[in-house]
């Protein structure tokens, strides 16, 4: 459902993404790990058609992000790193606005609105204005907006930022519940969070993909060496950095 092939992106003289390749299949949750500034958000922006790749190819649900950007956007639910909301709108009206922009109306819009309010636990704030909501609720509103059109591909950039520990656990369960028939890619710099939910983990640093491995494989390696997954990931980053 997501196919990234040898993709490179520069900002002027800065090489932000260096020949990155990976896939995310339907029914799979893939975590995208890396320190701040590693290139995660740039990759996600290219997948979502915000930025074009300088070279390489990206497909989402069979559509090329450069040649078919509208088809990609229809198939994609995207939560950017900086959650963009209309602060003066009521939460329910904001979600209806997003739904209508996604082509929903009538009974279908009402059905999907009720679904995201329930699944994202927004009942307590649905009649409030966005600017009256806490940071955690604002993040959940952004997630709800990204899912209202029931997309087959979900891309989330730091989706648990601003959530308290109980909300993080609930969000993990929520993502697992969305797994069927969807490809999910989410980024984070918190190793334990990614390991707790992902089927597979991608590790990126300085724009280079350093690892693409099943979570179970990394957990087994950690157990065999008497460490946790975070220790294994740090070893990968340090080893690749030293080799470079």
Tell me, rounded to whole angstroms, the distance of Cα 200 from its chain centroid.
Answer: 14
Q: Are strands 55-60 and 63-64 parallel, antiparallel or unpaired?
A: antiparallel
Diameter of the chain by CA atoms? Answer: 58
Q: How many helices (H) and strands (E) does the chain have?
A: 9, 10
pLDDT of residue 191: 85
pLDDT of residue 241: 57
Domains of the chain: 2-243 (3.40.50.300)
Dihedral of alpha carbons 100, 104, 107, 112, sign: negative
Q: Give the relative orientation of helices 135-147 and 91-101 as an angle to the nearest 10 degrees.
A: 30
Instruction: State which residues of the chain have pLDDT below 50.
Output: 242-244
N residues, the chain: 244
Within 8 A by CB and 6+ apart from 175, the residues are 29, 184, 186, 197
Tell me the pTM.
0.88
Return the half-sphere exposure (C-beta side, CA atoms, 13 A cut-off) of residue 85.
Answer: 29
pLDDT of residue 244: 45
């Amino acid at each position: 459902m997501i196919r990234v092939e040898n993709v490179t992106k520069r900002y002027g003289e800065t090489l932000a993404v260096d020949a990155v390749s990976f896939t995310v299949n339907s029914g799979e949750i893939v975590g995208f790990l890396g320190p701040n500034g590693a290139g995660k958000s740039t990759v996600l922006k290219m997948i979502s058609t915000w930025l074009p790749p300088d070279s390489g190819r990206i497909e989402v649900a069979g559509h090329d992000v450069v040649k078919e950007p509208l088809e990609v956007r229809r198939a994609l639910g995207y939560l950017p790193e900086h959650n963009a909301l209309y602060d003066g709108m009521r939460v329910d009206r904001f979600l209806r606005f997003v739904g209508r922009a996604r082509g929903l109306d009538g009974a279908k819009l009402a059905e999907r609105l009720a679904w995201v309010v329930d699944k994202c636990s927004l009942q307590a704030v649905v009649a409030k204005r966005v600017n009256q909501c806490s940071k955690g609720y604002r993040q959940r509103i952004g997630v709800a907006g990204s899912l209202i059109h029931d997309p087959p591909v979900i891309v989330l950039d730091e989706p648990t930022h601003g959530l308290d520990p109980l909300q993080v656990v609930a969000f993990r369960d929520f993502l697992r519940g969305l797994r069927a028939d969807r490809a999910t890619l989410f980024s984070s710099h918190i190793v334990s969070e990614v390991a707790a939910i992902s089927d597979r983990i991608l590790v990126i640093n300085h724009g280079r993909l350093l690892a693409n491995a099943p979570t179970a494989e990394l957990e087994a390696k950690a157990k065999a060496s008497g460490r946790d997954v975070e220790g294994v990931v740090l070893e990968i980053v340090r080893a690749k950095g030293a080799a470079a």
